[in-house]
Amino acid sequence: MGTRIRTAVLFAVIIALFVVVGGLVGEFVFQSWLAGLIIALSLALVLNLVSYFYCDRLVLWSTKAKVVSPAEAPRLAKIVDEIAPSFGLVAPRIAIVPTQTPNAFATGRDERHAIVAATEGILRVLNDRELKGVLAHELAHIRDRDVLLMTFVATVAGAISYAAQIAFFSMLFGGSNNRSNVNPIVLVLALITAPIAAMLIQLSISRSREFRADEVGARTLGDPEALASALQKLETANVRQPMNVGSPAQSSLFIVNPFRGASFAAIFSTHPPTPERIRRLRAMKADPSYRLSVRGPSFRAGSTGRPTRS
């Protein structure tokens, strides 16, 4: 519940930030606060809609991941098939990433288009119990529609950035007249601080969703130690051997950040500190209620093979 409240508060803050900045820029550039909001949001929306609908293809292409059949990756397929019903999901497609850096991610805009990808390295490094903990974390992301959530946040953050750029070029090339009631000093401060604040909020929401997926996966599986043990191994391996495929812009998709070393500034990380994640997971074992599922409404398989509400 604490994670949900935190996410909701951050949502409210980033939307309020967008309204304020968009209004200032619209008033300064177009003498209309509404015009600024609409133009900035439209620019961000177009780019992020493309990302949302094609995110699975883009991520698979950039990481060189290959969608495989259960026969090609029987161990991975078996575990996904085994635990997916616990999350109310039909088992998603699986993919293998050709790198020895141990990691995993989930992508796809909804459960119908979901893909769970594992690197060759994670299949080599983790035992079955640890791998099950990692895959439960990824299925929690799918169940909670985190790709949709983060696309929305990215859209608002992008709109703030575009609004700031519009105002900057307007000031640079004299596109605004003096009829604006906006104080130029206030506008400059907003242009500098708002995009940075939006980025930090976006990263904070990403970290909150990682904590949430840890909790949902561990509680649904009933084995917090499985993920805790896996995270220890993954953190060490990814610091020593960062991933050589994909883009740092996609780091939030992975269960641990695969594109940095130990010196990466924590404030700009898409993931919470791994030691803190491990501490929270192991603290769950002291809670007698940790085995209680955090799933939503129950599901049963319908005639189409897709989950239907019971």
The full DSSP string for 130-193 is HHHHHHHHHHHHHHTTHHHHHHHHHHHHHHHHHHHHHHHHHHHTT-S-TT--S-HHHHHHHHHH
Per-residue pLDDT at 294:
43
Confidence of residue 192 (pLDDT cuts 50, 70, 90): confident
101 touches 261 (CB < 8 A): no
What b/e sequence results for 253-262 when a residue is b if at least 16 CB atoms lie within 10 Å of its CB, and e otherwise? bbbbbbbbee
Confidence of residue 290 (pLDDT cuts 50, 70, 90): low
> Which stretches within 173-273 are classed as H helix?
184-221, 224-240
Amino acid at 218: A
- Residue 195 pLDDT > 70: yes
Torsion of CA 140, 266, 274, 248, to 10 degrees: 60
Which residue did the predictor score with more confidence, 266 or 256?
256
* Kind plus residue range of the DSSP H or E element containing 26: helix 2-30
Residues near 146 by Cβ (< 8 Å), separated by ≥ 6?
209, 213
Per-residue pLDDT at 274:
93
DSSP-derived pairing of the beta strands 93-97 and 104-107: unpaired
Residues near 286 by Cβ (< 8 Å), separated by ≥ 6?
none
- Give the single-character DSSP code of 248: G
**Residue-wise pLDDT tens digits, 239-250:** 888 888 776 767
DSSP-derived pairing of the beta strands 93-97 and 115-119: parallel
What's the rounded Cα separation, in Å, for the pair 50 and 58? 10
- Residues acting as catalytic residues: 138
Per-residue pLDDT at 182:
66
**Residue-wise pLDDT tens digits, 43-100:** 777 777 777 787 778 788 888 999 999 999 999 999 999 999 999 999 999 999 999 9
